[in-house]
Structure 1
Amino acid sequence: MGDFNSILHVEDKIVGSQVQETELRDFKQCLLDTRLPELKTVGRNYTWTNVHTYSSIDKALVNAMWLQSWTHLECSILDPRFSDHSHLCVTIEARENIGPKPFRFFNYLAGHPEFMQTMENNWKSQRQASSMNEVWRKIKTLKQPMRGLSNHDFQGIQYRVTIIRTQLKVLQEQMRYIRDDNQVKQYQMEKNLKTQLEKWRNIEESATK
Structure 2
Amino acid sequence: MVPKRELWKNLSRHKRVVVDKPWVLLGDFNATIDPDEHSAGPSFITKSMGEFSECVVDIEVEDISWLGLRFTWNQTPGILKKLDRAMGNVEFFSEFPSAVCEFMLFLRCDHSPMVVTFPQIMKSKPKPFKFHNYLTTTPSFLPAVNDIWKNEVYGHSMFAVVSKMKFLKKPLRKLNYEQGNLFLKTEKLKLELERVQQAM
Match for residue 45 of structure 2?
21
SS in 2 for 1:46: coil
**Deviation at 1:97?**
5.4
Q: Give how far 1:172 is off.
A: 3.4
Deviations 1:92-149 (A, max 9, x none): 2255552325759xxxxxxxxxxxxxxxxxxxxxxxxxxxxxxxxxxxxxxxxxxxxx
Partner of 2:128: 98
> What's the TM-score, normalizing by structure 2?
0.51
Equivalent of 1:54 in 52, 75, 80: 80
Contact kept in structure 2, 1:81 and 1:168, CA below 8 Å: no
What stretches of structure 1 of length at least 5 have no aligned partner?
105-161, 188-209
SS at match of 1:65: helix
- Number of equivalent positions: 120
**Root-mean-square deviation over aligned CA pairs:** 2.9
Instruction: Name 2:138's counterpart in structure 1.
Output: none
- Shift of residue 59 of structure 1? 0.6
Q: What SS does the corresponding residue of 2:88 show, helix, strand or coil?
A: coil
Match of 1:89 in 2: 115
1:26 deviation in Å?
0.4
**Distance in 2, Cα, partners of 1:13 & 1:168:** 27
Aligned-partner residue type, residue 171 of structure 1:
E
For 1:8, what is the secondary structure of its paired residue?
A: coil
In the alignment, structure 1 residue 169 sits paired with structure 2 residue 195:
no
TM-score, normalised by the number of residues in structure 1:
0.49
SS state at 1:172 partner: helix
Query: Relative contact order (alpha carbons < 8 A, sep ≥ 6): 1 or 2 greater?
Result: 1
- Give 1:20 shift: 4.0
Residue aligning to 2:5: none
Q: How does 1:5-154 map to 2 (within 5 A)?
A: 5-15=30-40, 17-18=41-42, 20-22=44-46, 23-52=48-77, 53-92=79-118, 93=122, 95=125, 98-100=128-130, 103=133
CA 1:80/1:34 → structure 2, altered by over 3 Å: closer, same or farther?
same
| Distance change >3 Å, CA 54–CA 75, structure 1 → 2 | same
SS in structure 1 at match of 2:102:
strand
Counterpart Cα distance in 2 of 1:26 and 1:75: 24
Q: CA separation of 1:7/1:172 partners in 2, compared to 1, >3 Å: closer, same or farther?
A: farther
Structure 2, unaligned runs of 5 or more: 1-25, 135-182
Letter of the 2:42 counterpart: Q
Query: Who is 1:122 aligned against?
Result: none
Change (3 A) 1:6 1:96: farther
| Equivalence for 2:23 | none
In structure 1, how many angstroms separate the alpha carbons of the residues matched to 2:27 and 2:60?
A: 17
TM-fit CA distance, 1:167: 7.5
Question: 2 CA distance for matches of 1:35 and 1:42?
Answer: 22
